[in-house]
């Protein structure tokens, strides 16, 4: 890439494209978190059963992210990003129109596929467009755009759902944002020509498989993602079922949690600089796990405060966790990020499945204990086996 292309790629419109693309990944997840009860009522099913809507999505997302390591060699990142945004739109429109729970599961599953095209391409394009000194800052902004998506998304989705049921925000919000991001991507994001000597996914996999620290980092990514389903997904339904919180109250708590996630994204860079990459990660993860373990035992608003604090603490880890994976094997960063994205979504599916099974079998406290143990295992991997 020559100097002119590199300068253009760092313009505000290109950055806006990357941020809006990341923003567009989350509305479907937010919707299925705060409107899970309404979706279950529509199809006359239990919350534990309907919560598995994200399991199939996560499994397919895992397969897609692995494939991205190979596909991205042949096709440019910009083209794949555009394809992912289009698929995200179609998945949300289809989910809104689903006449049965089975079809909703099938159509929503493509949300995971699309997200695992969009996010790995975002991270690879950051490496393509920006020099090393700017990448951490841009990654922080990308993390902040995700927090903003949660902060704004909850009240927008709650308002639209109150006006037209859970199907309306799927169409009017979750499907609309990817269209805007797609337009910016096609009009403003610089093309990324494919190089003939790009390293294939097989070679990257062999390098990762022979590196203990890299394998431990990827294992920790999986377990950490599974554990976060407690506070990111199940905690809001817990407030409604255990404490009788209204949809409006939960949407306010969701917005406050998202604001704290956003603030954590802004502070994560300086936090990491102060404590160091590994220490900032294990410190914030350890305290986050304590917050996550506490909320089910507290009264409504104290429990809500613990959930909000947990969102802040998990967001503090965003830059450190991604950078730690990125720097494990510098010559195979693309392969590491593809596998990291794949295993994150596998972890989300694992957390949803284990949490749903524990909830159905023994209630909310069992769910909290099961997912808490996965988080503790991630902490041990980061602390003892992952090298910074």
pLDDT digits (tens, 9 = 90+) for 278-308: 888 899 899 999 998 999 999 989 999 999 9
**Per-residue confidence at 334, pLDDT binned at 50, 70, 90?**
low
Q: Positive or negative, the Cα torsion across 15, 16, 22, 23?
A: positive
- CATH number for position 231: 1.20.1250.20
What is d(CA 268, CA 280) in angstroms, rounded to the nearest whole number? Answer: 9
Identify the pLDDT of residue 261.
81
Q: What pLDDT, on the 0 to 100 scale, is given for residue 197?
A: 47
Write out the residue range of the structural domain in which residue 215 sits: 3-384
Q: Looking at residue 74, what is its pLDDT?
A: 64
Buried b (16+ CB within 10 A) or exposed e, 169-205: bbbbbbbbbbebbbebbeebbbebeeeeeebebeebb
Confidence band (pLDDT; 50, 70, 90) for 1? very low
Mean pLDDT of the 55-75 span:
74
Place of tokens 């079998």: 361
Domain count, the chain: 1
Q: Is 168 exposed, middle or buried (0-12, 13-18, 19+ CB in 10 A)?
A: middle
Question: With pLDDT > 70 as the criterion, what percentage of the chain qualifies?
Answer: 90
pLDDT of residue 314: 85
Q: How confident is the model at residue 322 (pLDDT cuts 50, 70, 90)?
A: confident
Mean pLDDT for the chain overall: 83
- Reduced to 3 states (helix: H, G, I; strand: E, B; else coil), residue 197 is coil
Here the tokens at position 317 are 């880890």
Cα–Cα distance measured from residue 239 to residue 93, given in angstroms and rounded to the nearest whole number: 29
Q: Which tokens is 17 given?
A: 């494209």
């Amino acid at each position: 890439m020559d100097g002119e292309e590199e300068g253009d790629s760092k313009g505000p419109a290109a950055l806006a494209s990357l941020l809006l693309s990341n923003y567009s990944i989350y509305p479907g997840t937010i919707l299925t978190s705060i409107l899970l009860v309404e979706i279950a009522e529509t199809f006359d099913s239990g919350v534990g059963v309907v919560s598995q809507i994200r399991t199939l999505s996560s499994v397919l997302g895992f397969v897609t992210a692995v494939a991205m390591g190979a596909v991205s060699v042949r096709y440019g990142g910009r083209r794949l990003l555009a394809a992912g945004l289009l698929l995200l739109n179609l998945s949300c429109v289809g989910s809104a129109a689903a006449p049965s729970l089975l079809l909703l599961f099938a159509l929503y599953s493509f949300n995971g596929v699309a997200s695992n095209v969009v996010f790995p391409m975002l991270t690879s394009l950051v490496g393509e467009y920006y020099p090393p000194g700017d990448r951490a800052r841009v990654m922080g902004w990308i993390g902040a755009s995700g927090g903003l998506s949660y902060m704004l998304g909850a009240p927008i989705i709650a308002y639209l759902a109150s006006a037209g049921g859970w199907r309306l925000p799927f169409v009017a919000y979750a499907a609309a944002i990817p269209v805007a991001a797609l337009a910016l991507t096609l009009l403003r994001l610089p093309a990324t020509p494919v190089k003939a000597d790009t390293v294939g996914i097989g070679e990257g996999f062999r390098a990762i498989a022979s590196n203990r620290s890299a394998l431990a980092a990827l294992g920790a990514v999986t377990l950490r993602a599974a554990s976060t389903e407690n506070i990111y997904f199940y905690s809001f339904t817990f407030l409604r079922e255990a404490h009788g919180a209204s949809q409006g109250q939960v949407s306010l708590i969701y917005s406050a949690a998202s604001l704290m996630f956003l603030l954590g994204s802004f502070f994560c860079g300086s936090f990491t600089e102060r404590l160091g990459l590994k220490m900032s990660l294990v410190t914030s993860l350890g305290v986050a796990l304590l917050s996550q373990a506490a909320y089910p035992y507290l009264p409504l608003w104290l429990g809500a405060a613990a959930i909000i604090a947990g969102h802040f603490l998990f967001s503090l880890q965003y830059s450190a966790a991604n950078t730690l994976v990125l720097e494990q094997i510098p010559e195979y960063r693309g392969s590491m990020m593809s596998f990291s994205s794949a295993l994150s979504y596998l972890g989300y599916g694992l957390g949803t499945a284990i949490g749903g099974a524990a909830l159905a079998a023994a209630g909310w406290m069992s769910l909290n204990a099961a997912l808490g143990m996965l988080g503790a295992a991630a902490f041990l991997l980061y602390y003892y086996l992952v090298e910074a």
